[in-house]
Amino acid sequence: MRVIADLQIHSKYSRATSPDMTIEEISKWSKVKGLGLTGTGDFTHPAWLENLKKKLSGDGIYEYDGTKFMLTGEISLIYTDKKQRRVHLLLHAPSFDVVDQMNEWLDKKGRRDYDGRPVFGFSCTEFTEAMMEISKDIEVIPAHAWTPWFSLFGSMSGYDSLKECFGDTAKYVHAIETGMSSDPAMNWRLSQLDGITLVSNSDSHSPYPWRLGRESNVFDMKDDFSYIDVIDAIRTRKNFIFTIETPPEYGKYHIDGHRACNFSCAPEETKKLKGICPKCGRHMTIGVLNRVEELADRPEGFGPKDVVDFKRLVPLHELISHSLNAGVATKKVWDIYNKMISQFGNEFNILLDVEKEQISKYCDEKLTSLIMRNREGRLRITPGYDGVYGRIMEEKESLARFLRP
């Protein structure tokens, strides 16, 4: 059975997150999206955890109104190690009992009640060692590993290797989350990541289908799969079919730039400019592509053996929005979206499976072409930079103007 899993989201208790991120809404939209497993997010937050305990039933894999959930959370570690580090870690836990033990340990280090993604001052090594003492079934995964500001490899505060970040506890790190601004092909260029599973999740702050599930993991599971089945798939890559990735150009930090000046450029140009924005003279935000180039020891296009495959997909709302030249949340976009969901069941079925001839009966030629090009990984995207999302380009539109002043 194909199970599409988004294991990194946030609840309404996290900063800058929609108040609609409730169990009820997450469950509803998970089904519309076509997710077979969704992370709870934010199990470190006392109020959210209490809510989860009341509403979820099960053991390891939990359920609410027909939607399967797994206990997940995220913490932000800010500490000094030669320089100030800012690393986010994604957490998976096998039970509420284990979550309670994790939170009891965190309570000795600081507060958890002010944000769904709390900040602590200890290192990745100290934390991982403590979690393994609680349970070897806890999974600790560097979140959005390349994002400039808060990540393992980030240009602003990151490390150059897993070993440098985790020390002797690196042996317990089985996976990293690629984040929206990188994809597996970019990560394959680092030989140090051989043997590390590349996972993808949405990090969604709202339940709506252009956010929820936009990046996901696709497993081959039995009907009554367990938490251990999911963790085993992540650790061994067995029964891990592929990841769903937005094109890395779509991410908010793919190339270098300065949002305030509406300026972006490729890494080659950044080198010529010495990292300085030519419009204002301030430092640019160095993006993921540049950082990958800095750490890569393999050429672009290198493909190692025994890796999990991936597919690049842009959410259906974005395709409809582009075809109509209308806002992603406008009524006319929703009308087409809802009509297609009513006909085909869920969004991933449309994006991955429904034949072109069937799709064309319910949308015009332009949208049909976009859905097919999307499925085949042939969309052209203006690259995102310094917090600005990329966007779908017209087929004849030139990319050059997005990479120069």
Query: Which H, E and C letters describe the chain, residue by residue?
Result: CEEEEECCECCCCCCCCCCCCCHHHHHHHHHHHCCCEEECCCCCCHHHHHHHHHHCEEECEEEECCEEEEEEEEEEEEEEECEEEEEEEEEEECCHHHHHHHHHHHHCCCCCCCCCCCEECCCHHHHHHHHHHHCCCCEEEECCCCCCCCCCCCCCCCCCCHHHHHHHHHHHCCEEECCCCCCHHHHCCCHHHCCCEEECCCCECCCCCCCCCCCEEEEECCCCCCHHHHHHHHHHCCCEEEEEECCHHHCCCCEEEEHHHCEEECHHHHHHHCCECCCCCCECECCHHHHHHHHCCCCCCCCCCCCCEEEECCCHHHHHHHHHCCCCCCHHHHHHHHHHHHHHCCHHHHHHCCCHHHHCCCCCHHHHHHHHHHHCCCCCEECCECCECCEECCCCCCCHHHCCC
In a domain, 111, yes or no: yes
In a domain, 137, yes or no: yes
- 128 shares its domain with 230: yes
- 54 shares its domain with 136: yes
- 142 shares its domain with 31: yes
Tell me the CA distances in angstroms from 386 to 13, 108, 138, 251, 287, one per residue in order.
26, 36, 33, 10, 7
Q: Which of 212, 229, 249 is the last residue of a domain?
A: 249
- 202 shares its domain with 325: no
Q: What is the pLDDT of residue 394?
A: 82
Sign of the Cα torsion 194, 151, 39, 140 reads: positive
Q: For each successive 10 residues of the chain (405 residues), what is the average pLDDT?
A: 98 98 98 98 98 98 98 98 95 98 98 98 98 98 97 96 98 98 98 97 98 98 98 98 98 98 97 97 98 97 93 98 97 98 98 98 96 97 97 74 48
In a domain, 106, yes or no: yes
In a domain, 295, yes or no: no
- 219 shares its domain with 358: no
Could you give the angle at which helices 331-344 and 316-324 cross, rounded to 10 degrees?
130
In a domain, 163, yes or no: yes
Domain limits at 369?
Answer: 315-375
- 326 shares its domain with 226: no
- 111 shares its domain with 237: yes
- 168 shares its domain with 29: yes
Q: What is the pLDDT of residue 230?
A: 98
- 325 shares its domain with 216: no
Q: What is the pLDDT of residue 82?
A: 85
Q: Which of 230, 249, 268 is the last residue of a domain?
A: 249
- 81-126 pLDDT, tens digit per residue, is 989 999 999 999 999 999 999 999 999 999 999 999 999 999 999 9
- 235 shares its domain with 319: no
- 89 shares its domain with 219: yes
In a domain, 245, yes or no: yes
- 104 shares its domain with 220: yes
* Structural domain total, the chain: 2
CA 372/CA 323 separation, integer angstroms: 13
- 10-20 pLDDT, tens digit per residue, is 999 999 999 99
Q: What is the pLDDT of residue 398?
A: 58
In a domain, 309, yes or no: no
In a domain, 382, yes or no: no
CATH of residue 17: 3.20.20.140
Pairing status of strand 391-392 against strand 381-382? antiparallel
